Amino acid sequence: MVETLQANRITLVQLAEDFGLVADTAGTAFPEWQDSMPELTTREIETVEEVKQEYLHLARYDLLEPVVKLVILSPLLKLAGFYRPPFYIAAEKSIDLISQDGELTVRGQIDILVFQPKFWVILIEAKRSYYSLRAAIPQTLAYMMGNAQPISFGFVTNGSEFQFLKLTNQNGWQYSLSHTFSLDRKDDLQQVTRTLRHLGQVATRKQSEDA
C-alpha cells in the first residue's frame, strides 16, 4: 500500500532513505551563492533598508506566513528582477514526489515558485517569524526533487533569517546549503537581494546554453 506524507512532515532522514538524497559534505557544489554578485544602486540599497526597518517594526508581534511574504518576500523578489521577463511566478503550486520503491508519495504545495519556461529557477518557502529555518529545509528540498530538474535553487526564510539551497540531479540527488543570513547583521539583507538576483542571472544563462 502506498503511503502519502505531507511535505511539511518530511525529514532529511526520510529523503535520504527513501529518495537517495545526499548532502554536499565537501561544500564545493554551491559556488553560486559565493560568486561575485551584481551591485545594487543607491536607491535599491535604500529600498532594502526600508524593507528591513518595516519588518523590524512589524516583528514586535509574531508575524504569520502571509505577512512574511508580503513584507519581506514581495519587495525582495521585485528588487531581484523576478517580476520581469523572462521570469514568471506561481503560488501554492501542488507537487508530488514518489519514492524510489514507489511506496511513499510526498505531497504538498510550494509557497512561491519563480520560473522560466522549461526551467524552474527558485522555490521559496516562508515560515512564521518564530520558526527555525531547519523546519523548512526538508520540505523545500522535497519540492525541488519533485521538480526533477538537473539543477534548481531554493530559498527559505522566516522573515528574519534567510538561507539558499541548491539541488542537483546528475548522478543522484545532492543538496547544498549556503550559510544563514540574518536581518540582525548590518548588510545581510542587501547580500540576500544580490544573491537572489545573481541566481536569476545564473538560471537565465543556463537556459540559454541549453536552448
Specify the CATH number for the domain of residue 43: 3.90.1570.30
Residue 119: the pLDDT is: 57
**Residues 135, 140, 146, 147, Cα dihedral to 10°:** 180
Predicted pLDDT of residue 14: 92
pLDDT at 22: 97
What per-residue confidence (pLDDT) applies to 121?
A: 59
pLDDT mean by block of 10 residues, the chain; 211 residues: 77 93 92 93 97 92 82 92 90 77 79 74 64 82 84 89 92 94 94 95 77 57
- Residue 50 burial (CB count, 10 A): 11
Parallel, antiparallel, or unpaired for β 22-23 and 173-177?
Answer: parallel
Exposed, middle or buried: residue 201 (CB in 10 Å: 0-12, 13-18, 19+)? middle
pLDDT for res 129: 57
Question: Could you give the dihedral angle defined by the CA atoms of residues 98, 100, 101 and 106, in that order, rounded to the nearest 10 degrees?
Answer: -20
Task: Give how many domains the chain has, as a whole number.
Answer: 1
**What pTM value is reported for the model?**
0.90
Its domain, for residue 130, covers 3-210
Task: Give how far the C-alpha of residue 23 lies from the chain's centroid of Cα atoms, to the nearest Å.
Answer: 16
- What gap in Å lies between CA 81 and CA 79, rounded to an integer? 5
Q: Which residue has the cell 504569520?
A: 64
For CA atoms 145, 147, 148, 151, the dihedral sign is negative
